[in-house]
Structure formats: C-alpha cells, structure tokens
Amino acid sequence: MAGIGFELRKLLRRDTFSSLVMAYTYAGIVSSGPWVLSIVAVLIIGVISVPVVLPPDLVRQFQTVLTYLIAGSLIFTGLLQLSFTRYSADRIFSKEHYRLLPNLNGLILLVTVASGVLAFPTVLLVFPQQSLLLRILIASCFVTLCNVWVAAILLSGLKAYKPIVVNFALGYGLALVLTWWLRHWQLEGLMLAFLTGQFVLFQGMLYVIFTGYPSRHFIDGDFLRPGRMHLSLVATGVFYNLGIWGDKFVFWLHPWTSERVLGPLRASPVYDLPVFIAYLAIIPGMAVFLMRMETDFVEYYDRFYEAVREGGSLNYINEMRDEMVRIAREGLYDIMKIQGIATLLVVVGGHKLLQWAGISEIHLPLLYIQVVAAGFQVVFLGLLNVFFYLDRRKRVLLLTALFALLNPTFTWLSIRLGPLFYGYGFACSLVITISIGMVLLDRDLERLEYETFMLQ
C-alpha cells in the first residue's frame, strides 16, 4: 500500500504553483481530516437537532456524552496505539506482512472484550436514571470507538491516510443523515445514529485492511509475545492522551468552571467551544508537518540509514546526516511560522468566528490563547515524530510524561488565578515541554552518527 509520501512527491515533481498548492491541501486534509470531521460533525449534529429535539438540553447532553466517549476511548486504547504501530512496522520491515491481519483481529478481540467489560457495568451503574436502551447504546459506542482507533492505528502505521479520511467522512456523514431520521427518538435516537456511523466507519477501515493485506490465518496473538510490544510505547500512548485531555478534564471537574449535564458527566461552557474552534486552526500547521515529515525528512532519513546498513562512504553518510538534521530543524521552524500566521488570522477574525458559532465575545481572550496552544501542540507532534524516527523512545516517554503532569497542574493553577488566565495552563505546559524537547533533540542530532553505529 503506497504511503502518502509517494502521492505528495508525485505532485511536487510537476514543479508548478498549482501542484504545490494541491500538495499542501492534500496533506492538510489527510493529516487533520479525522480531527476536523469529528469536531464539525458533532457540532452540526447539535445544530440541526436544536429545532426538533425537546428539550434543547438533550443536544448538550449528547455532545457531552460523545466528548467523554472520545476522550475515554483514546486514553484506554492509548495502551496499545503506539506499541501496536511499532509492532506493525517491525513486521513490515521483516517482510512478515502475513502477520498484520491476524494480529489485528487478535487485538480487536482483546480490545472488544476489555472495553466491554469496562464499559457495560460502569455505564449501567453510573446512569441509574437513564433508560436501559440509552445505557446500552453509550457502552456500545465506547466499544466501537475503541475498535475504530485500533483500526486507524494500523492504517496510520501503513501510511494509508487517504482511506482513513474517506472512511471518517463516510461514517460521520451517515451519522449526520441518521440524526435527522432518528431525531424523534430523543437522546437514544442521537446515540443510535452516532453508533451506526461509527460501526460503518470501522467496517470500512477493516475492508481496506482485509483487501490490502490478506492472510491464511484469521486470528493470532503474536503481538502479545514478550518483546513484541515495547512497554515504553505502552506508557507513552497513555501519557500522551492524558496530557492532551488533561486541561479539559480539569475544567470539566472543577466546580468553578463546570456544571452537571448528565449523571456524573460535567461540561465547561466557558472552555469547551473555544477549544473546539481553536483546533480547526491547526490545519495549516498539520499540512506543513505532514509535508515536511513524509517528503523531505523521510527521503534523507532513508538515505542516511541505508548508507549505514549498506556500508556507504563516510562523506556520504555525513552529508545525508547533515541534510536530515537541516530538514528536521527547518520543518519544526516552518510549523511555528505557519501556525503563527494562522494565529494572526484568528485574532483578526475572532469576533466573526464567535458570532458565527453563537458564542459571546467574552470568550475572545480564551480563544486567542487556545489557538496559540493548539499551534504549540502541532510543534509538539512534529518534535515527537522526529524522536520516533530516530527511535528515541525514552525521550518521547519523558516528554509525554512531563506534559501529562504539567498540563493538569498548570490548568488547575490557572483556574485558581481567575478567568483571565484560563487556557494558559495548556499553553505553558506545551512551551516548557517543547523547550526541553528541543534541547534533547539538538543533543541527539549532534551525536547521531556515533549512536547509530554503536547500535549496529
């Protein structure tokens, strides 16, 4: 299955302005498509349901439940996301493609059982006032979402970004249509529409994997053998997702900034919508991130390590190393510059954005700092990606653990300081983590040849 890098390089070979624009547009869609589609779909479902679902609070309950389901499923599957991606990459490198499908089926079985054992008793107990049907639908959505992330893990590892975006668009598009048809069933109808869309999304991704990597065996547990799944990546996946959602959970659970929505679930009206809008501004940075990583950086990365493995000359190895270092640094700086421009555009058009979303302009300062913080998050992703390419798993573990600690801590302090400081906890935690990461990356790049040959 061809990676997106081939598609991007094919566009760039035309050497025209239009091909350059097409390449960056394509990169932006495939890199941030699932994020944007998820956010937009949830918001649109709420908008089209307001006039017909009574009382309107049901829509807010639906969006709150979905947010918790997405956050919880990402954190839960974080145990396996990075480690199984590495397992898949190792099997491809070892020419063991036949192991991908049966081990994916084994992982899906494990995740389905574990998430079901966790979700169904929990939902049945914590929502005693809700109907049995609604509780079953909520637990089923959690299990299905976990499986969606698992399938997306393998497709991402195979760099099949285009099928991911297509299937996300299909799944969420179907959910939007079904929302209209099932709206009379109140909250149960909305949850059934979302569950159906997620199931179709999951089946679509499975179809891509089943047709692209057939195998004689249906299920296997090879990925559970000792040494197959790296424990550092297991911990990194959990820390990263805890870090990303840390500030949201603090705002949801703090009594000053949240209110009860459904059962034990709380939401933060002052924080949630500006955060959603801010994440839409990361598309330019994600496009640059993917373009740099999957074209320029990967090209010199492959040349460097191929020369090391095949016994290339020292001058050639040094030259490829210098180019790889240059591209890595320039890529991170380009992400900063592009996100800076995106931030300025949001600052200029912030009033219009809030008016369009029906949000009071009192949220403008929070929107501004969240846009800046979202840009830092893209830089953080780029930094982690370089460390992953260099196989510096301990570095990534350190940075994600630091981020998971600093984000909720600083967010709690920002709430104590008052509304003017809302959002600064997320931004400051990223600034500190990125700064430390930059220092570590400079050290690693300076010692790249030495450590590469020492590991051979």
Are residue 221 and residue 298 in the same domain, yes or no? no
Are residue 451 and residue 360 in the same domain, yes or no? yes
DSSP 378-439: HHHHHHHHHHHHTT-HHHHHHHHHHHHHHHHHHHHHHHHH-GGGTTHHHHHHHHHHHHHHHH
Are residue 216 and residue 68 in the same domain, yes or no? yes
State the DSSP code for 55: S
pLDDT at 2: 37
* 233, 88 contact by CB (below 8 A): no
pLDDT at 452: 64
pLDDT at 449: 66
Are residue 189 and residue 330 in the same domain, yes or no? no
Per residue in 114-127, pLDDT tens? 999 999 999 999 99
* Residue at which a domain ends, from 225, 256, 285: 225
| Confidence check: pLDDT of 340 > 50 | yes
* Residue at which a domain ends, from 225, 255, 284: 225
| Mean pLDDT (the chain, rounded) | 82
| Confidence check: pLDDT of 54 > 60 | no
How does residue 282 score in pLDDT terms, banded at 50, 70 and 90? confident
d(CA 318, CA 309) in angstroms, rounded, equals 14
| Confidence check: pLDDT of 431 > 90 | yes
Are residue 304 and residue 388 in the same domain, yes or no? yes
Does any domain span residue 338?
yes
pLDDT at 198: 92
Does any domain span residue 249?
no
| Confidence check: pLDDT of 438 > 50 | yes
| Confidence check: pLDDT of 384 > 80 | yes
**Residue 350 backbone class (left: φ over 0; alpha: ψ -120 to 50; beta: rest):** alpha
pLDDT at 154: 76
List all residues 6 or more positions away from 26 whose beta carbon is below 8 Å from its beta carbon: 4, 7, 8, 11
More confident residue, 405 or 339: 405
Are residue 69 and residue 199 in the same domain, yes or no? yes
Number of domains comprising the chain: 2
Q: 24 is in which domain, residue-wise?
A: 4-225
| Confidence check: pLDDT of 5 > 60 | no
Q: Looking at this protein, which amino acid is placed at residue 335?
A: I
d(CA 70, CA 60) in angstroms, rounded, equals 15
Per residue in 172-184, pLDDT tens? 888 888 887 887 7
Q: Looking at this protein, which amino acid is placed at residue 180?
A: W
pLDDT at 45: 63
Per residue in 215-270, pLDDT tens? 788 898 888 888 788 889 999 999 999 999 999 999 999 999 999 999 899 999 88
- Section 328-347 average pLDDT: 81
| Confidence check: pLDDT of 3 > 50 | no
Does any domain span residue 261?
no
